Structure 1
Amino acid sequence: MEVGTRTVHILGVTAHPTAAWATATQLARNLLAGLGERASGFRYLLRDRDSRYTAAVDAAFTADGIEILTTAPQAPKMNAHVERFIRSVRAECTDRILLYNEQHARSVLAEYAEHYNSGRPHRALHLRAPADDPDVIPFPAQRIHRHNVLGGLIHEYRNAS
């Protein structure tokens, strides 16, 4: 999660996270490649002290000049933004859907991340989504269009044009 913009990136999905899965430096490289030129604007990566994160994963980020910071032991409030996202994704999505395999989980989480980044209002962003243009002031619409997300589990409302 990018703390300043609250933009979420889902790196991978697995039923049984192991050190081998977490050390797949390809996940880190995919994130950095997906960020493109924006990756140079990041100075820190805050992560927990899980033993699954090894030096190989850290090296992928430090090679791009991103310093790795770890949270204090048993201090979930140090990473409060991510903890809040995890609470939101569980309450709004995964606790309400029966996930039947990794591919389905990957699909559901990708769709939820898209909703979280482009359709879900955030209090810290003055009820805007992370992908909203901050220079555009939304005007009240005469007609509202409802769009279903995750098969109708979540509804997004937009101005009808």
Structure 2
Amino acid sequence: MRFVRLLVLRLARENSNWGYRRIHGELLVLGVRVAASTVWEILQEAGIDPASERATSTWADFLRSQADALLACDFLETVTLSGARMYVFAVIEHAGRRIRILGATAHLTARWVTQAAKNLVMDLEDGPGVLAQTPGSK
């Protein structure tokens, strides 16, 4: 029974959004036959709250934890002094809150956007934080 208790507690700690029923199901998949009520009792005795109370992460928490990997992109539409309409492709790096202009064109096509995205990926492959670097600091 000690093995089952340790396994239940480990699964609960490593998977904070799993409730006792999910843990019970995972134990069955592993070949550990134990009642769902036993899993519930083990969690209660250990003072582990129900999953809904353990897994209270907010959208802001998610963004903070994933900021280094999140990029947002959008198009800006502007009109030049001569009256020409231009489309600007911009990327915002969440971690550094910096904006990177990937290019501008008067004739927006899928091929142009694809190439701009490929160029961005090539820059990102140079290493983490490339978008946060200022020009010449590489």
Common fold: TM-score over 0.5: no
Larger C-alpha radius of gyration, 1 or 2?
2
TM-score (norm 1): 0.24
- Which structure has the highest strand share of the two? 2
- Which structure has the highest helix share of the two? 2
Structure number with greater CO (CA < 8 Å, separation at least 6) is 1
TM-score (norm 2): 0.27
